[in-house]
A and B are shown apart, each in its own frame.
Chain A
Amino acid sequence: MAAITMRNVVKQYGDGFPAVNDINLDIADGEFVILVGPSGCGKSTLLRMIVGLEDITSGDLFIGDTRVNEKAPRDRNLAMVFQNYALYPHLTVFENIAFPLRLQKLDDAEIERRVHGAAELLELVEHLGRKPANLSGGQRQRVAMGRAIVRQAQAFLFDEPLSNLDAKLRGQMRTEIARLQKRLGITTVYVTHDQVEAMTLGDRVAVLRKGILQQVASPRELYREPVNLFVAGFIGSPPMNFIPAVVSAGELNTPFGAMRLPDSRSPELDGKDIVLLGARPESFDDAAIVSDAVRDHGVTFEANIDVIEWLGNEQYAYVPYEAPDDIRDQLADLERELDSEALRTQLVVGLDTASQIAENSTASLWLDLRQVHVFDPVSGFNMTARDVNVDESAGATAV
């Protein structure tokens, strides 16, 4: 096991396009790090550079204390689980798992012992004699994991390992991977575009955009203190609402009325005409059921709700509104970059399940201003983000 260190790592293709640009990342021994970002952000390329399937154009890559830039994949002793599992179709499950051990020329008894150990861990024992073509998606996925863990490699690398599974299986395998990693305590780099995987699995999450590292932080910090519009929009589901606001005399004029931010969330607004107010759906609530103790921390406004989604444990209301064209275009661009598509500007509001607000009605909503962010629409920076790690208790008292 070993730490993985990247220093100014760059990947440039023949046409000069940098797929990965100047990445600095320290992954501690035994740490579980997620590389996340929309498709084409360079996360898979970075992973393939770590494992040695892609050349590093410039910069340094260390595994442990050894610089490995020029080493062939097999000399790096890393185990990788591929997106489509890359099982050898002509070999049985047993031989697939045993493949790296056969290459190491271990004796048969040892191979037998280790493969059976892995198979037991992954509940594959009764499938050892079958060929990959006869396995279900989940079983294939486990065989690929088995092949990775028999190695006793320096680190595990996962390239979107769950993306080919259905939702239920994905949830189960996610837990299995977390359990396995904790048990083996092995350094793990995990690429995904699924933010649920990113938030639940990683000790730390590295968000990439167009080959550039945006933010590396714990899932909690990423959620609470995103450094820019991109991270804020990418992490969280439903995503954070961005509300255009005109700055005037210390107040923010939004389509939902004027708002005065508390001191803790008031950045320097001098010289700014328009900002984007970022508010997560759960920062809102039905004004009728907000307790009086917190009511003063927020602002109450009237809104026309057209659709309500009731999900049992939570409830969302949708509030369409008009935004200036340039802001709308910018938000649409951001959405596209995040692999989604915005049809209209709307507010997604989380409501307590006890709320009685009906569809197609005007309701009184409440927004907790202690939890909002203010973004510079030009640079995208979060003007309210704190440089240091957030005090974990700060936002916990909300609602």
Chain B
Amino acid sequence: MSITETSRPGTAGSAPAPRRMSERARAERRLGWWLAAPAFVVMLLVTAYPIAQAVYESLFKYRLTDPDAREFTWLTNYWVILTDGVWWRAVGVTVLITAITVAVEAVLGFALALVMHRALRVLRPLLRTAILIPYAIITVVSAFAWLYAFDINTGFATSWLSWVPGITEDTNVFGSFGSAVAVIILSEIWKTTPFISLLLLAGLAQIPNDLLEAAKVDGATWWQRLYKVTIPNMKAAIMVALLFRTLDAFRIFDNVFIMTQGAQGTEVVSFLAYRQTISRLEIGLGSAVSVLLFLSVVLISVAYIKLFRINLASARGEA
């Protein structure tokens, strides 16, 4: 879903009819706006309006249980949050989870995509179906599956993994930060790698076979073909997949809610915002956290898109 650089075949070219007389062009323009407007307006209403509201409310000291004490306090809420270790700890945990999941998923997803791309013809539909299951399953269900697999009362996983140093059958996985985060990351990876691998598979499919055959004739080994032909030619697909997964991982919430409720220091940014608002009814403070989370996501996107552009340009230079 890159709106930035990938060429969009057919926005103007594929519909040959449009160039008509000017009244007709005007009528077409009006029709276009009328058709597109409802969706556009709804999107703005359900996002732009609430975020504007959040920005406004974040400037107040406002607790839902004590509405009369509502008071305009400028940026105090932000100051409170940004000087509080709780926020920075949540950011740290979120970044940690995001970085590890995206890195692992990029590699694992690529491997999965390669397997699906090159697998025997009879296997392909089977693999595609199988891989869609984790994608389509409810995140909460997946979180419960992993929770109960590692839970000290119901889980089988610790006894299966007792050969790993430091793990015994009675290890309380959710009792310490490291192991709890590890399982959260595992469940996130399991659930979302299929998405990344499907995007990468589509990217792989777009590489003309001639190119790989030419490289083969030129004497490139399997690894060289992968590094010098395949990956550079699907850079756009890779970047899009990574951007989406990064943003998605940064918003992680469901798994954490189900598995730890933020215990053992596993609180992530989304959970912090939820806890402020919904549990503690601190609307002002919660709104400020929400706005900060929003800004973080914007920051990540901008960084990626900047990076993405550079990559595209260099990819073009190589071609």
Contacts and interface: CB of A to CB of B under 8 A. Distances in A.
B19 interface: yes
A14 B17 contact: no
B20 A55 contact: yes
Q: Is the interface of B mostly helix, strand, loop or mixed?
A: loop
A215 to B, nearest CB: 29
Given A13-B19, A14-B19, 6 more contacts: A14-B22, A14-B25, A53-B17, A55-B20, A55-B21, A55-B24
Nearest to B21: A55
B128 to A, nearest CB: 21
Interface in A11-54: 13-14, 53
B28 to A, nearest CB: 12
A293 to B, nearest CB: 57
Nearest to A19: B19
> Contact residue range for chain B?
under 10
7 contacts: A14-B19, A14-B22, A14-B25, A53-B17, A55-B20, A55-B21, A55-B24
Q: Is the interface of A mostly helix, strand, loop or mixed?
A: loop
Interface of B: 17, 19-22, 24-25
Interface residues of A, number: 4
Contacts of B17: 53
Interface string A48-73: 00000101000000000000000000
Nearest to A53: B17
A55 B24 CA distance: 11
Contacts of A55: 20-21, 24
B27 to A, nearest CB: 13
Contacts of B19: 13-14
A14 B20 CA distance: 8
A365 to B, nearest CB: 44
Contacts of A14: 19, 22, 25
A85 B19 CA distance: 22
A265 to B, nearest CB: 46
Interface in A150-176: none
A14 B21 CA distance: 8
Shortest Cβ-Cβ A-B pairs, 8 listed: A55-B21, A55-B20, A13-B19, A14-B19, A14-B22, A14-B25, A53-B17, A55-B24
Nearest to A14: B19
Nearest to B25: A14
The residue in B17, B19, B24 that gathers the most chain A C-beta atoms within 10 A of its C-beta is B19
Nearest to B17: A53
The residue in A13, A14, A53 that gathers the most chain B C-beta atoms within 10 A of its C-beta is A14
The residue in B20, B22, B25 that gathers the most chain A C-beta atoms within 10 A of its C-beta is B20
Contacts of A53: 17
